[in-house]
Structure 1
Amino acid sequence: MRLRTLLSTGAATAAAAVVGSSASRSAVDTWYPTLRKPPFTPPPVVFPVAWTTLYADIAVTSAAALDRLEDEHRDDERLRYAAALGTNLALNAGWSWLFFGAHRLGPAAVAAGLLTASSADLTRRTAQVDARACTAVAAYPAWCAFATLLSTEIWRRNRR
């Protein structure tokens, strides 16, 4: 894996994390505790641990896939992979702004579903390039599917 590629994917995932967390910072302590949540809601400490791990996985596995595509001169596929990664990270950060920043629970549930589909697509693209990298990032769409379920249930319980 090339350092420049890892630095690029690391910077992209870190940017998504910073943008997303800037929307949620104050709401996590003030607004979020007031919501009615389902019993399967994880304790608050789980979310930063899960997301930090997933962002690291996304950065490393995407760098591995992008490097392999470059090495194999699959330039069009590499560009499509990079675009899919960018779209995924934008959806990721956007969910935080919808949910925590704007308190738009319905649109956030829809965005979570789109993020799940995008994460599954990114995992599929990774699998086509590097099976080991795919294994490492497979938890990402699973977590996003859980987040979609959780977001949808929070929306349902807090409709007015």
Structure 2
Amino acid sequence: MGRRADPLLGAVLLGGALVASAALSARWSPAPIHPRTYGYYRRLEKPSFTPPDAAFAVWGPLWAALAAAGWRLWRAKPSAARSRALAHWFGAQALNTLWLWLGFQRRNRAAMAVEAGATVVNAAALADAARRVDGPAAVLALPYLAWIGFAGLLSEEIWRLNEDRGEDGRRETADAP
């Protein structure tokens, strides 16, 4: 267990996970380049603390910090703690993508809110596991944890505020007698 991990393998695995997560997330995001998905998102009622669309550009720096954290964890001395931290790091990539797929591809707001809770738990576990392996990697994971915590609250509120809306984001009306 004392031998350091292969940097080429790390670059391929970490880079591949980041590229896949970013590409699929971009594909399913409610951005103006996806008019149908963006229209759906715009129709949903959102809480007063919803940030403006421009705030979602925070994902660039968050992914950069996660990439740096992942690289530091990969380069750390192999151990059970390192393996746990990397499992949570890879889990974060999958969960980020799953949240967008559930919420905007499948348009299942309840599942999106529940998944957001799982993502928050995983992000906290990532920061804690990283702390046990590499302090700077843990610090790099903290902005992600903060943003995911906020996104989890936002997801729950969007679900709650839109319980009476159909899959298309429009209000469902009762049939006339």
Report TM bin, short chain: 0.7 to 0.9
**Alignment-derived partner of residue 13 in structure 2:** 8
Q: Does the C-alpha gap of structure 1 residues 137 and 82 become closer, same or farther in structure 2, counting only changes over 3 Å?
A: closer
2:53 aligned residue (21, 33, 44): 44
Picking from 11, 24, 31, the partner of 1:19 is: 24
Q: Is this contact kept in 1: 2:88–2:123, CA < 8 A?
A: no
Partner of residue 87, structure 2? 83
TM-score by length of 1: 0.87
Q: Which residue, 16, 41, 44 being the options, matches 1:35?
A: 44
> Secondary structure at the residue paired with 1:129?
coil
Q: Could you report, residue by residue, the CA deviation over 1:83-142 in whole angstroms, capped at 9, with x for unpaired residues?
A: 322222111100000111111111100100100110111111111111122112211111
8 Å Cα contact 1:65/1:133 also seen in 2: yes
| 2:23 counterpart letter in structure 1 | V
Taking structure 2 as the reference length, what is the TM-score of the superposition?
0.79
Q: Quick check: which has more Rg, 1 or 2? A: 2
1:113 aligns with 2:113: no
Q: CA RMSD in A?
A: 1.9
Letter matched to residue 28 of structure 2: A
Give the partner amino acid of 2:48.
P
CA shift digits 1:42-86 (9 cap, x unpaired): 111111x2111111111111110121133xxx2x44433333222
Out of 133, 144, 150, the position equivalent to 2:154 is 150
Partner-residue secondary structure (3-state), 1:12: helix
Alignment gaps of 5+ in structure 2: 1-5, 165-177
Show structure 1 runs of 5+ residues with no match. Answer: none
Q: Percent identity?
A: 32
Structure 1: how far apart are the matches of 2:16 and 2:129?
20
Residue 37 of structure 1, CA deviation: 0.6
- How far off its partner does 1:3 sit? 5.3
* Larger helix proportion of the pair: 1
SS at match of 1:138: helix
The answer to whether the 8 Å contact 1:62/1:126 transfers is no
Aligned length: 155
* Residue pair 1:10, 1:56 contacting (<8 A) in 2 also: no
What secondary structure is seen at the aligned counterpart in 2 of 1:40? Answer: coil
Question: Is the contact made by 2:99 and 2:116 (CA closer than 8 Å) also made in structure 1?
Answer: yes
Cα distance change of structure 1 residues 93 and 101 upon mapping to structure 2, 3 Å threshold: same
